[in-house]
Structure 1
């Protein structure tokens, strides 16, 4: 059944959720159902506002009134990875009956905001704008484009974002924007231990006033459950293995679109070619044939909990530098209890063919760790890292 058929057949998220349960596609989860019902209530309230706006050509959002504008309170859903937050957001975004709506990864949205702020400042210098404060006009333009804003993975790590969020969202909410967001952490834990966090903290109160906060705290990590059933080290590097890697990646990312991400490392950027949520995917060449070092691998381990590496080759004397980086990479993943999913030309103990130098000795430890990282006991230690505290 297509998504359009779903929309015409199942009017509410609850109806569609129960259909998926009956079809055996999902297992009913009381924690998820709380979110389903909250999203259905939000859709109903948004629908009521739309109907009430018919008398105004510009609608209730932009109607000029002397009395305070009555707004819709949004929703902020937080919980661990793999709990189904993205699936529920998908269903909400499809069903909410609004044309001016936008769904984005929060980091992408903030990059757009900063670009708009800079464009406004450039126009001000050229004499094309008169407003010295770029935040209100930027917020107004964003609200005119979309008054339902849906954010995946709401997380604040950049000080530039943290410093503008209070004023930006105060202006957005004043324009009647409705926020729906998913996150791995509660609002009070956003930007924890961040630089100048005191300047960020007013945003937390603003967020909690304009969005109902609900924890999706079910015990089951559905993403991890699927991944745990799959092989995590695959040989050799052929078409079948590539297909298995893609299947595992689909499970790790819940089938959602992946994109390039950049990590700041000591004043430069490390490119992550494919990322979604807490999973990242590289080829061996992207990780070990480039001049990367300990800081780069630590940045990856700090940002992600699952790493995919495509086609690890057999390394001989001619690949000593690559072998050194690979040894360092695996040590970093191991020390940080990361889940590794990899394809390789050979089993771990056959990956290094060199016979001289320290690499041959050091690679014995790497091979042992690669073998251990495939075991159930290892995956249990990974679970402890992935579970929010």
Structure 2
């Protein structure tokens, strides 16, 4: 029988991973779940379904390898599993809630949970975090129904459970969900002192100009290194608007300037984006000025949101930051944005200090 430790050791031997004791210490918790789920289910008229194994809440700093361990776990499973970013899952649940209420369903949470639990045995979430009061009010009943149906939840987070929805509106109504997490999931910190994602970027170029085949090839190589070739779209819904990131993997997203700034998006959209990703690749930033004034304003707002959230960026642009916006209304104000873009290129930017 191939265990998760065997798979981890094999990837280290292949050079795909760097051995990390903190990651290795986490493997037995994931192996416990995998092994329980792999046991054959004995069927019979009077046999009760076995109790599902406790899930796992794996928290720790950015770049410690939480998503990589999740990849390893999901790839090893022999039961139906859904791997999804927690924010995207909650957007889907909110859309279901709205639809079912419109159809006159008295308690929509029950059929919502049944639809999920009928489809999968395991829910594997990237980056559990709660920032929206609507989500905060929904998760308790929804996850109680999922757990009662035997769904196993494994999730990563940058926060300890007690810090979820910290300082949120009506937070006392959210506290039972934290208690539920602690009851149904093993809470484990991935306490590595290494930021593997930062290690991969150490010394690497993160701002590319001009935009040409050479710069595109370099960004492609960085993207493959960071994502290991796994990606999917991520759609965020903010106040009814869609913010689509066409390429996403484990907290890292990739989109063009037009994807992000050519659409009628505002500060709330960019704040949601900054909360959803830890690193963003922005490609093909053009010359800014009178001809694309609205797009330039959105770009300034986007950079501000990314800067305040300490999101790391990889950029391709027609010119250096100071030369992107040199004339026309807004050129003077862009000096701060250029300064921030320059600061964000520093290898140590965004690290806790």
The TM-score, its normalising length taken from structure 2, stands at 0.84
Check conservation: 1:272, 1:280, Cα contact below 8 A.
Answer: no
The corresponding residue for 2:351 is: 383
Task: Tell me which residue corresponds to 2:217.
Answer: 243
Query: Partners in 1 of 2:216 and 2:120 — Cα distance?
Result: 39
Unaligned runs of 5+ in 1: 1-9, 62-68, 126-131
Match of 1:42 in 2: 33
The RMSD of aligned alpha carbons is 3.2
Match of 1:306 in 2: 279
Task: Please state which structure has a larger fraction of its residues in helix.
Answer: 1
1:24 and 1:305, CA in 2 relative to 1: closer, same or farther beyond 3 A? closer
The structure 1 residue matched to 2:342, chosen from 334, 351, 371, is 371
Q: Work out the CA distance in 2 between the residues paired with 1:330 and 1:255.
A: 27
- Tell me, yes or no, if structure 1 residue 219 matches structure 2 residue 190: no
Count of aligned pairs: 352
**Superposed CA offset, 1:180-218 (max 9, x none):** 222222221222222221111111111211111111111
SS of residue matched to 2:342: helix
* Residue 351 of structure 1, CA deviation: 2.7
Q: For the pair shown, which has the larger CA radius of gyration, 1 or 2?
A: 1
2:243 matched residue in structure 1: 271
Partners of 2:143 and 2:306 lie apart in 1 by: 37
Using the TM superposition, give the Cα deviation of residue 157 of structure 1 relative to its aligned residue in structure 2, in angstroms. 2.4
1:13 paired residue among 4, 10, 22: 4
1:70 maps to 51
1:55 aligns with 2:51: no
The residue aligned with 1:66 is none
Q: Distance in 2 between matches of 1:142 and 1:336?
A: 32
**Aligned 8 A contact 1:84 1:222 in 2:** yes
> Distance in 2 between the 1:167 and 1:344 partners?
46
What does the per-residue CA deviation read over 1:84-103, in whole Å, with 9 as the maximum and x for residues that have no partner?
222222222222232x3333
CA positional deviation for 1:46: 2.4
Bigger Cα displacement from structure 2, 153-162 vs 12-21: 153-162
Partner residue of 1:234?
A: 208
TM superposition shift of 1:230: 2.0
Residues 1:145 and 1:268: Cα distance change in structure 2 (over 3 Å)? closer
- Cα 1:363/1:155, change in 2 over 3 Å: closer
Change (3 A) 1:141 1:300: closer
> What residue number does 2:89 align with?
109
Range with bigger deviation, 225-234 or 248-257: 248-257
Specify whether residues 304 and 108 from structure 1 end up closer, same or farther in structure 2 by C-alpha distance, changes over 3 A only. closer
* 1:360 shift after superposition: 4.7
Q: Which moved more, 1:329-338 or 1:19-28?
A: 329-338
What is the SS of the residue equivalent to 1:383? Answer: coil
| Alpha-carbon contact 1:283-1:311 (below 8 Å) kept | yes
| Ranges in structure 2 where 5+ consecutive residues have no aligned partner | none
Alpha carbons of 1:58 and 1:248: their partners in 2 closer, same or farther (altered >3 Å)?
Answer: farther
How far 1:239 sits from its partner (Å)?
1.8
TM-score, structure 1 normalization: 0.77
The 5-angstrom pairing of residues 16-31 of structure 1 reads 16-31=7-22
The one of 157, 172, 180 equivalent to 1:206 is 180
- Select which of 153, 160, 165 maps to 1:191: 165
What do the CA deviations read for 1:337-369 (whole angstroms, capped 9, x no partner)?
Answer: 443321122233433453xx5645445555444
1:223–1:254 contact (8 Å) kept in structure 2? no
